[in-house]
Amino acid sequence: MRSLAAFLPTASRFLLGLVFTVFGLAGFIHFMPDPPHPPAARVLHDAFVTSGYLFPFIKTTEIAVGLLFLSGRYIPLALVVLAPVLLNIVAFHIFLAPGTLLIVVPLVAAAIHLAWVQREAFAPLLRSHAPAAAPAGAAERGATASA
């Protein structure tokens, strides 16, 4: 029997995958009604839609990331791409719709959990300095020198 700890990454992946795929598609297909927004939130939503590109861009990103999570492929990339989208969702709920903040807590928890599980993939991103690049052709010269 698998332990709960072994099941949690899969559950987190599927939660994020389903939510972002469904809500991303809903932005294009409109199979769900728009939830009521406080006035300031409605202004921001309408501005995203009126821009002509921002709302479709965000929804396309949500669909792509959701499908990556559901497929189980490129999870670290999906987390990096999702981070600014999720941060904006959290800020939206904190500043414009605070009564609905608890809706995003499971999403943030799932993303943080997956990032922790995938922490080795993020280690190179968290270095203060990039490793020095080898001069062009150095790998080829090393291969011929050892032959």
pLDDT < 50 positions in the chain: none
> What is the pTM for the complete model shown?
0.82
Give the model confidence (pLDDT) of 39-48 as tens digits. 988 999 899 9
The whole-number pLDDT of residue 146 equals 53
Give the model confidence (pLDDT) of 38-71 as tens digits. 898 899 989 999 999 999 999 999 999 999 999 9
What is the crossing angle of helices 105-117 and 75-95, to 10°? 150
DSSP assignment letter at 29? H
The whole-number pLDDT of residue 140 equals 62
Distance of alpha carbon 100 from alpha carbon 3, whole angstroms: 32
Supply the Cα-derived Rg of the chain in whole angstroms.
20
The whole-number pLDDT of residue 145 equals 54
